[in-house]
Amino acid sequence: MAVELDSITQLQPVAGVKLATCAAGIRYADRSDLVLISLDKASTTALVQTQNRFSAAPVQIAARHFNIAKPLALVINAGNANAGTGQKGVDDALECCALVAAALDLLPEQVLPFSTGVIGEHLPIDRFRDAVPTLAKGLDRHHWVEAANAIMTTDTVAKGESVQVKIDGQLVTLTGIVKGSGMIHPDMATMLAFIATDAPIAQPLLQQSLELAVDRSLNCITVDGDTSTNDACSLIATGKCDISPIVDNRDPRYKKFQFALRDLISTLAKNVVRDAEGATKFVEINVSGADYDACKSVANTIALSPLVKTAIFASDPNWGRILAAVGRAPISSDQIDMHEVSIIINDVSIVQAGELVSDYHEADGQAAFNCTNLKIDVRVASGNKLATVWTSDLSHDYISINADYRS
């Protein structure tokens, strides 16, 4: 069960974007597992992808197509990652693009493919041949929720978000969907995410917007420390909102758009953690006092510690595990002052000046660890930079889910 997160039931459509889904039988029986997204011809697109060296065939083809043509369609399948599949995997990804192109009267290079699911199995390409023509006939601007459901793998709920912001007196819409539950760790985006807006934004600025937003959101979550072979996040701007184009990052309208985008992607990122495999708790870790990179390194060390995560699952106020994680974080000695270290959990002060607070009571720590939502604030020195990482606990169910994943 997701941690205080319900499946979405409604998202705002974005003018210039149409979606369709179907049950193609790629891996799952009796559920949608294939998505087609069609874009208005005036759209611009930004893309970030996994840094895993064993990137999947669709990741490779999407990067290739993105660099040589203007994307006008996306095709996404769940249940099969098409990763570790060699040249045949590349050929299958190319055929998926060709099928979509033929159905929508596009060039194959104008199609970006995305896949998620089991690694090391070839795509059942015949099922794409059967499904794509049907998808092309079912495109509709209102199918965002259906698409969010269709891209799920071990997710327990469909995840998405819409925000609207007024720019030049016009209502600008941003809508996004995301899938991700396990194999989550920052190294670009750590899941599949698709976001669209009707704002008119020049492509270089759109790419900058996405990279900035991802860096402080999707790159700040971790479930299990594993970076996927298939991660990707795409941002589409259709330009259908009736405002003049945003082409300069000094434009005050750009800042307003960027704030809205960051809020949306941060929500998507945190919802991935709330739906983490086997999760029973949501954990926010704030580390301050060193430079940003050092603070984030400390936060990740805490978030990735199996001892910390299992203590949180057990509601065991074993704060020493957090202190030990801080001490072993891979940062230089000038970034941490052990006499400045403090740890506060849900407003319960436990460590100050590097040692246990004199009036700390175990009952207070227990009350903090009993909470479903934990906020761990750590200070490592006297600086003023802050980094935030979101993570989950580590439960028995996480092991069961991943042990049974292919069965």
What domains can you pick out in the chain, each with its CATH number? 17-274 (3.60.70.12), 282-404 (3.10.20.340)
For 176, the 3-state DSSP assignment is strand
DSSP letter, residue 186: S
Q: Which long-range contacts link 96-104 to residues 24+ away (Cβ below 8 Å)?
A: 96/58, 96/123, 96/125, 96/128, 96/132, 97/61, 97/65, 99/128, 99/129, 99/132, 100/36, 100/73, 100/75, 100/132, 100/136, 101/73, 103/132, 103/133, 103/135, 103/136, 104/38, 104/72, 104/73, 104/136
Residue 59 exposure: Cα atoms within 13 Å on the Cβ side: 26
Phi, psi of 173 (to 5 degrees): -105, 140
- CA dihedral (235, 186, 88, 21) in degrees, to 10, reads -40
Query: How many Å apart are CA 252 and CA 243, to the nearest integer?
Result: 13
Beta-sheet pairing, 373-379 with 342-345: antiparallel
Q: What's the sign of the alpha-carbon dihedral 88, 23, 154, 225?
A: positive
Cβ atoms 287, 335 nearer than 8 A = no
Q: What's the sign of the alpha-carbon dihedral 188, 110, 147, 59?
A: negative
Give the burial string for 95-104 (b: 16+ CB within 10 Å, else e): bbbbbbbebb
DSSP letter, residue 158: -
For 274, the 3-state DSSP assignment is helix
Cβ atoms 81, 26 nearer than 8 A = no
Cα angle for residues 63, 153, 116 (degrees, 5° grid): 20
pLDDT at 228: 79
Query: How many Å apart are CA 292 and CA 103, to the nearest integer?
Result: 48
Name 207's Cβ contacts closer than 8 Å, sequence gap at least 6: 46, 47
pTM of the model: 0.94
Instruction: Give me the tens of pLDDT residue by residue for the chain, a chain 407 residues long.
Output: 789 999 999 999 999 999 999 999 998 888 999 999 999 999 999 999 988 888 999 999 999 999 999 999 999 999 999 999 999 999 999 999 999 999 999 999 999 999 999 899 999 999 999 999 999 999 999 999 999 999 999 899 999 999 999 999 999 999 999 998 776 776 654 589 999 999 999 999 999 999 999 999 999 999 887 777 888 999 999 999 999 999 999 999 999 999 999 999 999 999 999 998 889 999 999 999 999 999 999 999 999 999 999 999 999 999 999 999 999 999 999 999 999 999 999 999 999 999 999 999 999 999 999 999 999 999 999 999 999 999 999 999 888 877 876 65
DSSP letter, residue 6: P
Burial of residue 403 (CB within 10 Å: 0-12, 13-18, 19+) is: exposed
Tokens 């001490």 found at = 327
Residue 400 tokens, joined: 């069961």
9 in active site: no
pLDDT at 29: 84
* Residue 201 CA to its chain's centroid (Å): 22
For 359, the 3-state DSSP assignment is coil
Terminal-residue alpha carbon distance, the chain? 20
Question: Of the residues 85, 190, 227, 391, which is catalytic?
Answer: 190
